[in-house]
Structure 1
Amino acid sequence: MSIILPIINQQPSGDISTFFEPQGELARERTEWKLEEQYITGTSGSSTSTTTKLAPEKKLTLFALRLAILEKAASGIGALGFIWATVVLLGGFAITLEKKDFWFITVILLIEGTRIFSRSHELEWQHQATWSVTEAGRASFRKLRSGSRSVLQATKAFISSVSILRSGGIAGDVQRVSEHRTWRSPEVPLLPYAGWIFLSRNISKILYWLQLFSASACVVLSLMRLVQQDFGDVRAGESDKKNRKSALNIFYALAFAEALMFLMEKAYWEWKVSHCRILEEVNKECDLGAKGMISIKRFFYDSYSRCVNGSIFDGLKMDLVTFAEELLASSSHDEQLIGANILLKFATNLEFSDETLRKLGTSTPAMERLLEMLNWKSKEEEELRRSAAVITLKLASKKQNALRVAGIPGAMESISSLLYTGRGVSSKPDEICHRCIIVNRSNYEFSVFNLYGLLILKKLSRDHDNCGKIGNTRGLLAKIIDFSSTGEWLLGGNAASEQQIRAVKSSLQVTKMLASTTGNTGKNLRREIAEIVFTVSNIREILQFGEKHLELQKLGIEILTSLAMDELAKEKIGGTGGMIKELVRLFFRPPTTGDHSAVSIEAGEALTMLALENKMNCDRILKEDYAVERFVVALSDPVLQINSSRILRNLCAYTSSVCYSRLRGVIAAIPSVLNCIMFEEMKLLEVSLGLAVQIFRITSNEEYIQGLETAEVDETSVAGKMVAILKKYDYPSIKVPRIRRFVVELAIWMMKSNQKYIEIFKEFGMEKELEGIAETTTELECFNVFSGSVGLSRHCVSLYGLVDSALELMAEG
């Protein structure tokens, strides 16, 4: 029977394992990944915002609001002036007005009409004017780039573009062709033979100065008439002229106020923009760089337009992130580039990243657009693709956003498109041609995109469900494994670049996370990873030639350990030539640094997993030179003793009869094992008890007595220690889940080998402790290893059955 009881969760001493005791969640190397992400994205420190700084764009929206108030006030006064002039003056006093006032009013109205017309279209032209800066910058960049290319490279690039256009497989290239077949708004000649004057990019300047001239003229003319006051005399009896002076004063005052209000608006505009340099200030606070001025201008004009054309508060609702998302969805390459640059800067800025990523993560269209851009492979779209990759990486860094990203249809396929090794040839002629062209584009940064793709997958694979999606994406696992291919040419010398090593490392990290996934998903993934023919052989190359790259060796061994939880994978690993030999070599390699010790420990765990319930692998280990003797010697090494005990236990338990004779050397370990039982704690105590059970099963009573004498330990002390262990662990322990089982197994062997132990155990109160175990057994104590919180490799005999057997022996005695 079994009941639910509280479980002891003690802190471990020694190594931290993820397979020999259950884990709520597998440990991840988050610090290490963060450093690698910083290397690629160019960010530093944590991405968590530490301040509540006011969003810089709020200065612009407030500025736009104040301008809109002045603009609408001027427009309102102007409208009143027009009504007054047309209804009261020209409509009511057209005959009685003096000729001078008639023409003054007419000119003012014409000037104001011109100004209002130009004002209504100025913002539209200002929007277009911002593209002239964009086009100039891009043109100079293209010119510089083309000038630095050789003729051969330029020819290859041309052939590449033609081939890609023929294939029609890249959305970005189709877009570029569409742009070449349409006019660029800054270059449109509005009138023939008019030169630069009537190019659309210059119209906003013309309209701007026209408004200033019109408003100034209106101020001068209206002020002249208000000062002169020569509106004509009103003679007696001329009742139709008695209100003329007041009416004219009102009109000229309205015209003066309206023009003055507009000039105040322009003065305020110039003060803030030219003197206070508010646009540059906001751009600097947003850290958008030199190109960011275009983005800031566009944002400001949009905000101002909304305030003027709608409610004055409409512009206050705008923010740069939403603005960038809208531009990202545009069909214009330039708008997409502006939007991507804003999101990239904000997503990698410590002050704005949290809010930006939270807003992006709730915008499905924006995430879909970013993932779509990952598929764009033309050279012209490289900058956009890189920005989209970094933003996606930052999104995937947040767990909630990672779930949303992976949940978008086609997301994994888009991320997979970032991975390209250049190895392998497609069976389709078009794909062969396209692949050759891509390889020949030597200035395309495939290595950077590969790292982006691997890092994104690494972030996504922190979630169990995402691991399943990665495994279900056609060809993705094979791509990931492909990046772990090395060999002596890469690892043996100094030929490998830093990016190549990082790609191998990231590939191994992703593979490790997938292989260590828990549940049925992990079971399927381990099977699929092991079925890829290059997986084990690539790791073998890393173990053979990676002496200068200990971290890669450690990751490779961890993958083998995880794969060994699957029986078929365990056999494939053991059956790969030289794999067992390399693991044994690495396990016994003399530790010179902490990194070497970590590799040795991982090699020990891998050998333990490979030998667990597998006779073939146990035989392969025993066939290594002096294997048992070397494992026995390692029992006195503080670094290797735990895993040496585990390996020897599995060899004793599962070796076939053919190689059984090779195990005789394990008897020499009895004194060391007894000393550990008497004086050690936690994991070392647990593995020593387990090893003692298996060693004593293949030894005679004489050899056991001799071992006690060598260890200077008496039989009564051993029995008392065993009862003390059961008293200490009256409940199951997560960190040492098999310790009570091993004590009971050892007690059964001792009572069967010599009946005097029955009386000794009774004296120490063993029966009471066994009855306590029977009432507190759980599923935790029924397994050899664990995948997360799921038990694997169930023991043939339950702990409850062992307790019954022990109690029967004591009753019979």
Structure 2
Amino acid sequence: MVILVIGTVLFPETAIPPMCNPLRHTLSLWSPVVATLLLCPSVPYRVDDESIIARISFSTPKLTVYLVLFVVVLLLTVSRLQFPAIVKLVDWALGNKIVFWRRVIMNLCMLVAIVMPIFTFHGIARMVMIIFDIFVVMIASFGNLQIPAAVLRIVLALWSLRVILPYVHGDLENVDQNNLGEQKNLVKSLVIFFVMVLGQGILYIVGGILEIFSFILRRSLTRHAGFRGPQGLEYVNLYYAYVFDKCMKGAVLAPEKTSLITFAVDSLNSGSPKKQLYGLKMLHIFLEKDPLKTKAISELTTSIETMTCLINMLGWTSEGDKDIRLFAAKELKDPLLDGSPKAKQDSLIQQVNRNGQTSPMLKRLKELSKYCLIPRKEPTNMDEQNSHVLRCWKRITKRWSVPEEEPSTDQDILPLLGMLILDKLASFDLENCIEISRATGLISKIIEFTSSRTEMTNINETQQALLKGSSLELLRRFSSTKGEFGVILRQKVSENLFLLNHLADILDDSGSSQELRELTSELLRNLAMVGNTKEEIGQIRVIISRLMHAFLSQDALSSTDSGQRLRMKSGQALTVLAMESADNCYVMLEEPGYAFIKELTLMIHSDRYRYVASILLRNMCVHARPKLCSSDLKEISYIVREVLEGIMDAEGTELEVLVGLSSQICKATPDGFARELEHGQIKEAFVKRLVDALNSNMIPNAHCPGIRRAIVEHAIYMMESNTVYTSCFKNCRMMEALLMVERTPSRTEKYRFFSGDAGLMEHSILLSTLVAEAKELMGRE
């Protein structure tokens, strides 16, 4: 029994399976001490060949070795006791490396305990003890059946050769002379056969001995693979057993090549949750290392079975499957959805697009990605406390130690990973966006993460910012979708009752980054296109106030690339909010601290923000004309020349914007407009430019759908202000151009702008009505 217990310590895999865990733990803990104590009676005795009677024979070296052995075994056993004081003391002294060295030292002690009885006997008795020790090692090695099998091979081969060799040397008395030739061949064949058996046994013994030292190579592989902590060692041990099994089942000289990556992928497809988690963790490590990333992506993307398994893991929402769900989301993150230039592999989604058979897998991914948005608590890692006294020792053992596991990064939040997957799906196909939006409660969950008052109490500020940014990015992508799908998605997002308040908090928070503000501004711009949403936004004064501050800001940050993008997006949001909304225009004009009209006229002189400022100024003239004071009108008159010169050179959308602004300036300050035309002597040239632009844009397009409307409006305001312009338009054949517009109506001209093939924000006055009014003015002369 002692021999068997010692065997379970030396080779844990040989432990008796039916043994209950507490009993097994107790035997594993105390059996070395018991075995050492049982050795005590043999220490002061000596047995000779002549007499079987043991006699007391004190040996100082033997006694010293035994005492050292007992003290070491006792200390190692005490160090395994789970008392807080002992654990703290051991960790302070040796840290986590005690786990490795304790096992090595204990194994060496048990080896000494097995060898020590040999020195109690002499002569034949000692040989008997040596054979007995060999028998002990064989029993203890039953976890590896190769060693006893190898010993059996060697014994049988030696015994057989002993029987056969006399025949080889010519002892043929009992041999039939008639069959002498055949018997000689049989003897030689048997000699060759048993020599091969003997060699096989010896090789197995050598292999068993070398296997004892395989821990060195396994630790080296653990370090080179980037694994950390005790789990890293366990990965390699499982891989070692996996490869060994493959080699034993296949050919010896040409074994099947099995890499760590292949082992990790095979572990995913196993039925064991533990192995699946280990496989996911290994793949996560490989995908973070450039040399292995290419091979890992290749293995994953070429196996539909593996990808299906990963996708299905996202739906494992039970308490025990949190880690599996987290790491499955990591594997489906950027490497697989974006592809890798170095790997020269298409992304998973691109492969799905080409191969119709994999479409159910992508559909499953869409359905299960929402489970990633369920919050969970992330595991925390305690920092290792290093002892100053043992730094030298740690440097010595560093080569053989395994690095500690790194703490989780900020990107390890499962909801964040889920939104990254959804974002990639949404960017690939418009239909994906619709399917995502139809998932029950998914949009609401995404919007919930935009709040600064999230219910997730286990994340820090950095993680909160990442989560908020990813949710805003996903909502921005939804709201930026073009076509009819975009109309549906914007309506879906705008229906949430809490979103606008969350966006207002982001803009009003001084700690919000420029990236968050930029995403928020773009999202507000897109949502303002939906029904009465712009009016609801305008009622939250802080939103317009912060957008104006970002657009009109002249600080140092506004000159950076990110600052310029923020200014542009904020200005675009303001332009959409001002369209067909007198209330929002009044709010902008009344914002304290700004001379809004003057700021806009100054920005028109710059190239970067000219057209955004022009649209805003036009809307102010259209909807807030009663609120404009004389100083505002004076500022507007200063930019007439700049606008007129721009119209003479602009084309497309820029021409539509400038003509629209010029028409409103003509209506707001007709005297200033006329004075500038006369002073520059460009009246006829300007009128001709308008008529030519009208004739050259008889086929409206989505890029500038309102250019004919803007020109006709401008002509109306000019003729209303002074009949002199009527003659100029007639001379330039304006009537023929108006008749052509009347004969070529277009549905695109009903809308202010387009998102894909969907028109947004209809005009309140039809173009045909404006044409009729212009024709009537020309006929009055």
**Cα distance, 1:295 vs. partner?**
4.1
Aligned mate of 2:147, from 209, 228, 248: 209
Residue 192 of structure 2 corresponds to residue 253 of structure 1: yes
Q: Name the CA distance, whole Å, in 1 between partners of 2:511 and 2:536.
A: 24
Provide closer, same or farther for how the CA distance between residues 389 and 270 of structure 1 changes in structure 2, counting only shifts above 3 A: farther
In structure 1, distance between residues paired with 2:419 and 2:138: 45
Shift in Å at residue 372 of structure 1? 3.3
Q: Which amino acid aligns with 2:762?
A: R
In 1: Cα distance, 2:181 partner to 2:269 partner = 64
Where 2:752 maps in the other structure, the secondary structure is: strand
Aligned to 2:114: none
The one-letter code of the counterpart of 2:677 is L
Pair 302,204 (structure 1): closer, same or farther in 2 beyond 3 Å: farther
In structure 2, the residue corresponding to 1:567 is in which secondary structure? coil
Give secondary structure in 2 for the equivalent of 1:793: strand
Residues in 2 aligned to 1:508 and 1:619: alpha-carbon distance in whole angstroms: 29
Post-superposition offset of 1:216: 4.0
Say if 2:710 is the partner of 1:742: yes
Aligned mates of 1:685, 1:363 — CA distance in 2 = 55
Matched, 1:696 2:666: yes
TM-score for both structures, normalised by structure 2: 0.63
Decide whether aligned partners of structure 1 residues 399 and 242 sit closer, same or farther in structure 2, where only a CA change above 3 A counts: closer
Counterpart amino acid of residue 517 in structure 1 = T
Say yes or no: does 1:783 pair with 2:756: no
How far, CA to CA, are the matches of 1:559 and 1:145 in structure 2?
56
**8 Å Cα contact 1:460/1:466 also seen in 2:** yes
Match in the other structure for 1:556: 520
Query: Contact 1:273/1:279 (CA < 8 Å) preserved in 2?
Result: no
2 CA distance for matches of 1:536 and 1:603? Answer: 15
Aligned to 1:335, which of 275, 280, 285? 275
Partners of 1:671 and 1:452 in 2: CA distance: 53
RMSD over aligned Cα, in angstroms?
5.1
Note the C-alpha offset of 1:557. 1.4
Q: For 1:271 and 1:311, how far apart are their aligned partners in 2?
A: 21
Q: Within the alignment, does 1:596 sit opposite 2:563 as a pair?
A: yes
2:301 corresponds in structure 1 to 358
What is the CA-CA distance between 1:207 and the residue it aligns to? 1.7
Percent identity of paired positions between Structure 1 and Structure 2: 23
1:792: how far off? 0.9
* Equivalence for 1:642: 611
**2:440 is aligned with 1:474:** yes
Change (3 A) 1:782 1:713: farther
Contact 1:732 1:776 in 2 (8 A): no
Counterpart amino acid of 1:609? V
Match of 2:683?
715
Alpha-carbon offset, residue 560 of structure 1: 0.9
How far residue 400 of structure 1 moved from its aligned partner, in angstroms, is: 0.7
The one-letter amino acid of 1:327's match is S
TM-superposed deviation, 1:599: 2.5
The CA deviation string for residues 565-619 of structure 1, in whole angstroms up to 9 with x for no partner, is: 1113222211224333333333322242323333332222111111222333234
User: What's the secondary structure of 2:450's corresponding residue?
Assistant: coil
Query: Structure 2, unaligned stretches of length 5 or more?
Result: 1-10, 30-79, 89-134, 339-346, 353-358, 379-406, 454-458
CA contact (8 A) 2:157 2:198 kept: yes
Aligned counterparts of 2:726 and 2:204: Cα–Cα separation in 1: 103
Distance 2:324 2:84 in 1: 22
Q: Does 1:449 align with 2:388?
A: no
Measured at CA, do residues 311 and 738 of structure 1 come closer, stay the same or move farther in structure 2, by a change above 3 Å? farther
Paired with 2:419 and 2:251, the residues of 1 have a C-alpha distance of: 47
Residue from 326, 349, 372 that aligns with 1:415? 372
My pick for the range that moved more, 630-639 or 765-774, is 765-774
1:669 aligns with 2:642: no
The verdict on how the C-alpha distance between 1:205 and 1:405 changes in structure 2, with shifts beyond 3 A counting, is: same
C-alpha distance in 1 between matches for 2:690 and 2:622: 22
User: In 1, distance between residues paired with 2:253 and 2:739?
Assistant: 77
Residue deviations 1:173-194 (CA, integer Å, cap 9, x gap):
xxxxxxxxxxxxxxxxxxxxxx
SS of 1:233's equivalent? coil
Instruction: Provide Cα deviations, 1:89-132, integer angstroms capped at 9, x if missing partner.
Output: xxxxxxxxxxxxxxxxxxxxxxxxxxxxxxxxx9x989x9xxx9
Match of 1:653 in 2: 622
Match of 2:33 in 1: none
Residue 609 (structure 1) aligned with residue 573 (structure 2): no
**Pairwise mapping of residues 96-175 of structure 1 onto structure 2 (< 5 A)?**
none
Letter in 2 for 1:689: V
How far is the alpha carbon of 1:486 from its aligned partner? 3.2
Measured in 1, the distance between the counterparts of 2:466 and 2:610 equals: 33
Alignment deviations for residues 3-45 of structure 1 (CA, whole Å, 9 cap, x no partner): xxxxxxxxxxxxxxxxxxxxxxxxxxxxxxxxxxxxxxxxxxx
- Kept in 2: contact 1:692–1:746 (CA 8 A): yes
SS of alignment partner, residue 639 of structure 2: helix
**Structure 1 stretch 350-359 or stretch 599-608: which is displaced more?**
350-359
Say which of 497, 500, 503 aligns to 2:461: 497
- Quick one: which of 424, 432, 451 aligns to 1:485? 451
SS of residue in 1 equivalent to 2:431 = helix
Change (3 A) 1:275 1:502: closer
Q: Which residue of 2 is the match for residue 63 of structure 1?
A: none
Is 1:581 the counterpart of 2:581 in the alignment?
Answer: no
Q: Give the C-alpha shift of residue 561 in structure 1.
A: 0.8
CA distance in structure 1 between the aligned counterparts of 2:775 and 2:138, rounded to whole angstroms: 98
**Aligned-partner Cα distance in 1 for 2:195–2:737:** 103
For 1:420 and 1:652, how far apart are their aligned partners in 2? 55
Name the SS for the 2:281 alignment partner. Answer: helix
Cα contact 2:325–2:372 (8 A) shared by 1: no
Q: CA deviation at 1:204?
A: 5.7
Structure 1 distance, partners of 2:244, 2:460, is: 54
| Structure 2 CA distance for partners of 1:259 and 1:763, relative to 1, 3 Å | farther
Q: CA 1:691 to 1:237, structure 2 compared with 1: closer, same or farther past 3 Å? A: closer
Rounded to whole Å, the distance in 2 between the matches of 1:271 and 1:768 is 100
Structural mapping, 1:725-764, within 5 Å: 725=693, 735-751=703-719, 753-754=721-722, 756-757=724-725, 760-761=728-729
Q: Which moved more, 1:762-771 or 1:451-460?
A: 762-771
TM-score normalized by the length of structure 1: 0.61
Quick one: distance in 2 between partners of 1:559 and 1:248?
92
Measured after TM superposition, the shift of residue 784 of structure 1 is: 1.2
Contact 2:484 2:757 in 1 (8 A): no
> Contact 2:410 / 2:463 at 8 angstroms: preserved in 1?
no
Deviation (angstroms), 1:564: 0.6
How far the C-alpha of 1:252 sits from its partner, in A, is 2.6
| 8 Å CA contact 1:516, 1:562 repeated in 2 | yes
Per-residue CA deviations over 1:754-795 (Å, capped at 9, x if unaligned) read 454455456657678778878988655553123344221234
Residues 1:265 and 1:601: Cα distance change in structure 2 (over 3 Å): same
Could you say which residue in structure 2 is the equivalent of 1:460?
425
User: In the TM superposition, what are the counterparts of 1:50-89 in structure 2 within 5 Å?
Assistant: none
Q: Matched residues in 2 for 1:714 and 1:146: separation?
A: 97
Query: 2 CA distance for matches of 1:777 and 1:362?
Result: 56
Q: Which residue of 1 aligns with 2:313?
A: 370
Question: 3-state DSSP class of the match of 1:560?
Answer: helix
Contact 1:526 1:569 in 2 (8 A): no
Distance between the aligned counterparts of 1:201 and 1:337, measured in 2?
35
Query: 2:264 is matched with which residue: 324, 327, 333?
Result: 324
Per-residue CA deviations over 1:644-672 (Å, capped at 9, x if unaligned) read 211222233345xxx73437634642441
Choose the corresponding residue for 2:760, options 792, 798, 808: 792
In the alignment, which residue of structure 2 is the partner of 1:30?
Answer: none
Residue of structure 2 in register with 1:105 after alignment:
none
Say which SS state the counterpart of residue 302 (structure 2) adopts: helix
Q: Following the alignment from structure 1 to structure 2, what is the Cα–Cα distance between the partners of residues 716 and 362? A: 74
2:530 equivalent to 1:566: yes
- Assess if the C-alpha contact under 8 Å between 1:530 and 1:572 holds in 2: no
